[in-house]
């Protein structure tokens, strides 16, 4: 069936709201267990009435509109988030380098998206997933400026003969995610003899989460950068520009200049300083549009007078059941570091033991580190879980046999609970104090040691 204008197509799309895939499926595609793209195919065939295809042009080519069926989920804290990144079209390394942004395969196929959001729920049949909302989406002008820079970064890396070094952490909103059955899904690249993993353009999970919350929850986000700024500079350049006037100041001096009140001993002091100097006072950092969509998370680093971090840095609590069930490619820790950018906000104690702002660094973990050191650490945790966690009472508390900070120099596991009684159950039935991933202090030093030089 052909749709002759956007209004007609959107009117039809909105009729899917509230329906389950089981109610829509006319051709019994749900009976094909595990079929890749089955839910999208049901919408294409059974709802819109057109044949499934893999054409280079947009699905509704006469309107220049691409259809995407995408899941979201409810989290334990009742917020909503995208379940996954939105995978777009395969990147043809050989052809894409010959184009500019406006003639690129990304733009030609994805400049208008018909997004159909369905709610994913654990432990229910996928036929019972329900379409919740559908919209015709075009990129806001501020987002498009960032996406253009992301596209240019990806294509320039291919032009440099480094398609095999692409990583989702390289960019802000538009990613180059791996796309293939396994690590042997390789493609030729134009300026190197090294085969590169097949990749597709994708909108990052964090970007899709921001859309889910804006569209379904009507959540408001606040921008720290305007359109004119984003035309001229990257997010990273703008962050450095906004932070640099405060280098050398104590927290109290920063607060005085920003005309805000803080308690330097309070955990909220640094987030309050950051939001104020970005021009969005009293805004939580995860409600800043650019932070939310690019998955920028901030971490405070306190350096001693000798320039060394005072301590290792905690990240997220470990779900031991999840580790045993997942494989490496879809593991939580791998995707966390692939998709997350860390804004290190660095302070250092001076000779009078006053903590002074030294600078910032927007960082993501190198893909080589993720695929080597982090992978080996994840594999070792799985080995310990399978062979048996040994808990031993000592004078300092309960020790375990998870790999320690000297395992590979990058990360380790250690407790992070409210107190010793804040415990979780291990898969073998034992109880252990909540454990957390920590980046080693020495590794943090290597990341931030050049700040201020």
pLDDT value of residue 379: 96
* 50-59 CB contacts, 8 Å cutoff, 24+ apart: 50/1, 56/89, 56/105, 56/108, 56/109, 57/108, 57/109, 58/108, 58/109, 58/110, 58/112, 59/114
Could you tell me the two tokens for 142?
Answer: 């501020």
pLDDT value of residue 93: 97
Sign of the alpha-carbon dihedral angle for 99, 101, 103, 108: positive
Q: Give the model's confidence band at 181: pLDDT under 50 very low, under 70 low, under 90 confident, else very high.
A: low
**Residue bearing tokens 């009117």:** 11
As a whole number, the mean pLDDT across the chain is 93
Tell me the percentage of the chain whose pLDDT exceeds 90: 82
Instruction: Report the distance separating Cα 259 and Cα 261, nearest Å.
Output: 7
Q: Give the model's confidence band at 396: pLDDT under 50 very low, under 70 low, under 90 confident, else very high.
A: confident
Structural domains present in the chain: 6-215 (3.40.600.10), 223-294 (no CATH), 296-453 (3.40.600.10)
Q: Give the model's confidence band at 2: pLDDT under 50 very low, under 70 low, under 90 confident, else very high.
A: confident
Give residue-wise pLDDT tens across range 345-367: 999 999 999 999 999 999 999 98
**Residue bearing tokens 């702002």:** 357
Instruction: Report the distance separating Cα 179 and Cα 195, nearest Å.
Output: 14
Give residue-wise pLDDT tens across range 188-210: 999 999 999 999 999 999 999 99
pLDDT value of residue 51: 79
| SS3 at position 259 | coil
Instruction: Report the distance separating Cα 260 and Cα 257, nearest Å.
Output: 8
Whether 147 shows a pLDDT value over 90: the answer reads yes
pLDDT value of residue 129: 96
Whether 224 shows a pLDDT value over 80: the answer reads yes
Whether 35 shows a pLDDT value over 60: the answer reads no
pLDDT, average across residues 78-100:
95
Whether 36 shows a pLDDT value over 60: the answer reads no
Instruction: Report the distance separating Cα 218 and Cα 212, nearest Å.
Output: 9
Which of 262, 254, 232, 211 lies closest to 355, judged by CA? Answer: 254
Strands 130-138 and 112-119: antiparallel
pLDDT value of residue 219: 94
pLDDT, average across residues 165-170:
86
Q: Give the model's confidence band at 451: pLDDT under 50 very low, under 70 low, under 90 confident, else very high.
A: very high
Whether 184 shows a pLDDT value over 80: the answer reads no
pLDDT, average across residues 161-185:
86
Q: Give the model's confidence band at 436: pLDDT under 50 very low, under 70 low, under 90 confident, else very high.
A: very high
Whether 86 shows a pLDDT value over 60: the answer reads yes
Give residue-wise pLDDT tens across range 232-280: 999 999 999 999 999 999 999 999 999 999 998 898 999 999 999 999 9
Could you tell me the two tokens for 333?
Answer: 């820790």
Q: Which of 104-108, 169-173, 198-202 has the lowest mean pLDDT?
A: 169-173
pLDDT, average across residues 106-119:
97
């Amino acid at each position: 069936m052909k749709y002759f204008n956007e209004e007609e197509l959107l009117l039809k799309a909105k009729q899917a709201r509230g329906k389950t895939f089981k109610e829509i499926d006319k051709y019994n595609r749900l009976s094909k267990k595990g079929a890749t793209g089955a839910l999208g195919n049901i919408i294409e065939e059974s709802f819109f009435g057109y044949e499934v295809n893999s054409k280079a042009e947009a699905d509704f080519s006469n309107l220049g509109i691409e259809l995407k069926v995408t899941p979201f989920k409810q989290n334990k804290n009742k917020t909503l988030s995208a379940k996954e990144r939105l995978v777009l079209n395969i990147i043809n390394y050989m052809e894409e380098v010959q184009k500019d942004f406006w003639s690129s395969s990304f733009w030609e196929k994805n400049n208008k998206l018909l997004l159909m959001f369905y709610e994913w729920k654990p432990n229910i049949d996928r036929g019972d997933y329900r379409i919740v909302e559908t919209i015709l989406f075009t990129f806001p002008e501020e987002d498009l400026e960032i996406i253009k820079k992301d596209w240019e970064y990806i294509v320039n890396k291919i032009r440099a003969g480094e398609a095999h070094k692409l990583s989702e952490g390289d960019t802000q909103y538009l990613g180059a995610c791996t796309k293939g059955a396994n690590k042997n899904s390789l493609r030729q690249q134009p300026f190197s003899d090294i085969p590169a993993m097949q990749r597709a353009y994708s909108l990052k999970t964090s970007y899709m989460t921001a859309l889910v919350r804006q569209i379904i929850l009507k959540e408001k986000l606040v921008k720290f950068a305007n359109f004119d700024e984003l035309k001229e500079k990257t997010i990273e350049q703008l962050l450095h520009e906004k932070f640099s006037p405060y280098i050398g100041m104590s927290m109290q001096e920063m607060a005085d200049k920003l005309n805000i009140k803080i308690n330097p001993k309070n955990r909220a002091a640094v987030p309050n300083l950051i939001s104020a100097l970005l021009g969005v006072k009293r805004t939580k950092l995860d409600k800043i549009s650019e932070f939310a969509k690019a998955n920028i998370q901030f971490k405070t680093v306190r350096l001693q007078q000798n320039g060394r971090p005072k301590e290792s840095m905690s990240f997220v609590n470990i779900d031991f059941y999840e580790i045993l069930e997942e494989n490496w490619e879809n593991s939580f820790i791998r995707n966390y570091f692939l998709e997350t950018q860390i804004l290190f906000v660095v302070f250092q104690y001076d000779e009078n033991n006053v903590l002074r702002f030294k600078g910032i660094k927007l960082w993501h973990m190198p893909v080589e580190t993720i695929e080597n050191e982090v992978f080996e650490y994840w594999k070792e945790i799985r080995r310990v879980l399978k062979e048996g966690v040994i808990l031993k009472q000592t004078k300092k508390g309960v020790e375990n046999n998870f790999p320690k900070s000297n395992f590979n120099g990058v990360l380790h596991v250690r407790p992070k609970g409210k107190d010793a009684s804040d415990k979780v159950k291990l898969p073998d039935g034992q109880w252990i104090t909540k454990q957390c991933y920590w980046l080693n202090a020495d590794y943090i030093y290597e990341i931030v040691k050049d700040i201020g030089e």
